[in-house]
Amino acid sequence: MSVMESGVADGHRPRRGRPPSVGLAERRREELTDAAFTVFAEQGYEQASVADIAKRAGMGQGTLYRYVEGKRELLDLVFDRCVDELMTAIAPDVVVETAAAGDLQAAEEMVEGVGARLFDLVDSRPDILKVVMVQSGTVDEELRYRIQGLYQTFDSMMGRALGHARERGWIVTRTEHPETETVHLGRLLPALGVPGLVMSLTDGADADRRHTYVRAAVRMSASGMLSDEARAALPSSAPQDEAPRSAAEPGATSTGRSAELLDAAIAEFVEKGYAAVGVREITERAGVSHGTFYNYFDSKRHMLSVLVERNRTLTLDRLDAAVAALPDSVTVEALQAAVHDVNVVVLLDIADRLDEFRFLALEVPGVDVDAFDTYLGLYREAAGRFAAILDRARAAGLLHERLAPGDIAEFWLSYMLGTVAAMVNDVDVTSPAESARVITNLLLGGARTD
């Protein structure tokens, strides 16, 4: 039949069968990304399977492979979406522009707005930080570099914002290196969001509790934890001592074959990643047989638990020693010294074993759900130990009446985590002692000029 007879050119004849659905591939990839996010959050990346993800998405494995190459590509899709959502909530360009504009009230409203948006995001995706910072960081070197790049971008943005604030006289610096201190403050202040996010992950605080938390965080960042009278008596800066005066020496570390195996495991984990290392690699590095390994550990996972417990005990012992060293009658000078000593000794511990702590911080929480829960438990324990120092300070009338010791302890831990994040991501520009001074000054006296 000719074109004239049919009225349709051969190149434009309608295709037989079901017409293609516009945007089907994009919708399927979105559905798979949703499913992968949920499965990774529930099971961890290593334990999750393509079958689990396909089932959660309501499709067969064969259909899944029509839209993605496999589990690794799905993690990239999940990571990209989570980062986009986090950046939308934080709005880094707005943060810098607001700080540069010179309107203090607008800057304060911007901070509260960021807090509210982050809470909303965590409500809609409770596991977003676990997937981005924990699960993703355990997969391979490429993704770890992406996370480090994300951190460094955020670090640079906050440094610019705080630089504008310092130029306008909004914040005070108390060390001999104001520019370096400003960079460090840019790492500490965003970390005040950590307790709020932990709150959302663990106890689902109501709106009033969240609002109270955000207001307390703003107050802490501005004026610190001290009462007005105690703040007026606060020495201008924490001491510059490299070695803490009152911190106890670390407890004796284990020795013998068990310790040798742990050291060999750490070296392998740091070099190759936890997932890529087996018992064979550990025993070969330690120069022992498989049988010797199983005399001390049930499995690689058991060994990891022992390693985490060893570092947990060290950190909590440091905090207990600081509480024991406090005088019965706490003065503002004694409180400043105690807080500074704890900060120095903990950061020195980390600096001395930085590769080990990098592994503990970036990989271990993502090994499985139990590992992540263990870290949440350690967070609570460390905050509780530090709160014991603050209870004595409250009894002496040194703390601001609107701030609870438990909340202040979490703010302290957030500042420490902000510093540790910089150390393990290789962007820290200060010594442990100098970092400890900045944390102590900020915690007690805040960053706002009077």
Q: Are residues 292 and 364 in the same domain?
A: yes
Banded model confidence at residue 48, pLDDT cuts 50, 70, 90: confident
Q: Are residues 115 and 243 in the same domain?
A: no
142-193: pLDDT as tens digits = 777 777 777 777 777 777 887 887 887 777 788 888 888 888 888 887 787 7
> What is the per-residue pLDDT for 31?
95
The mean predicted confidence, pLDDT, of the chain is 82
Q: Are residues 244 and 376 in the same domain?
A: yes
Given a cut of 90, is residue 49 above it in pLDDT?
yes
Out of 5-9, 22-26, 309-313, pick the least confident: 5-9
Closest CA to 248 of 183, 317, 194, 295: 317
| Distance separating alpha carbons of residues 142 and 144, to the nearest angstrom | 5
Banded model confidence at residue 205, pLDDT cuts 50, 70, 90: low
Percent of the chain's residues with pLDDT above 70: 86
Q: Are residues 269 and 139 in the same domain?
A: no
Tell me how many domains the chain contains: 2
Q: Answer whether 306's CB lies under 8 Å from 403's CB.
A: no
- Higher-confidence residue of 339 and 171: namely 339
Q: Is residue 201 part of a domain?
A: no
How many helices (DSSP H) and strands (DSSP E) are in the chain? 22, 0
Q: Is residue 205 part of a domain?
A: no
Q: Are residues 109 and 35 in the same domain?
A: yes
| Distance separating alpha carbons of residues 264 and 258, to the nearest angstrom | 10
Q: Are residues 261 and 400 in the same domain?
A: yes
Q: Is residue 185 part of a domain?
A: no
Q: Are residues 80 and 157 in the same domain?
A: yes
Q: Are residues 137 and 257 in the same domain?
A: no
Residue 87 CB contacts under 8 Å (≥ 6 apart), including other chains: none
Max mean pLDDT among 18-22, 368-372, 394-398 falls in 394-398
Given a cut of 50, is residue 13 above it in pLDDT?
no
Rg of the chain on CA atoms, in Å: 26
Mean of pLDDT values over 298-318 = 93
Q: From 150, 170, 190, give the residue that closes a domain.
A: 170
Q: What is the CATH number of the domain that holds 55?
A: 1.10.357.10
Task: Please report where in the chains the tokens 């004239």 appear, as a residue.
Answer: 4
Q: Is residue 442 part of a domain?
A: no
Indicate the Cα dihedral angle 112, 117, 122, 128, nearest 10°.
-110
**What residues does 26 pair with on adjacent strands?**
none
Structural domain harbouring 323: 232-405
Out of 6-10, 282-286, 356-360, pick the least confident: 6-10
Q: Are residues 129 and 271 in the same domain?
A: no
> What is the per-residue pLDDT for 204?
58
Q: Are residues 238 and 165 in the same domain?
A: no
Q: What is the DSSP string of 63-126?
A: HHHHH-S-HHHHHHHHHHHHHHHHHHHH-HHHHHHHHHHT-HHHHHHHHHHHHHHHHHHHHH-T
Given a cut of 60, is residue 251 above it in pLDDT?
no
Q: Is residue 65 part of a domain?
A: yes
Q: Answer whether 231's CB lies under 8 Å from 224's CB.
A: yes
Given a cut of 70, is residue 108 above it in pLDDT?
yes
21-46: pLDDT as tens digits = 557 888 999 999 999 999 988 887 77
Q: Are residues 394 and 254 in the same domain?
A: yes
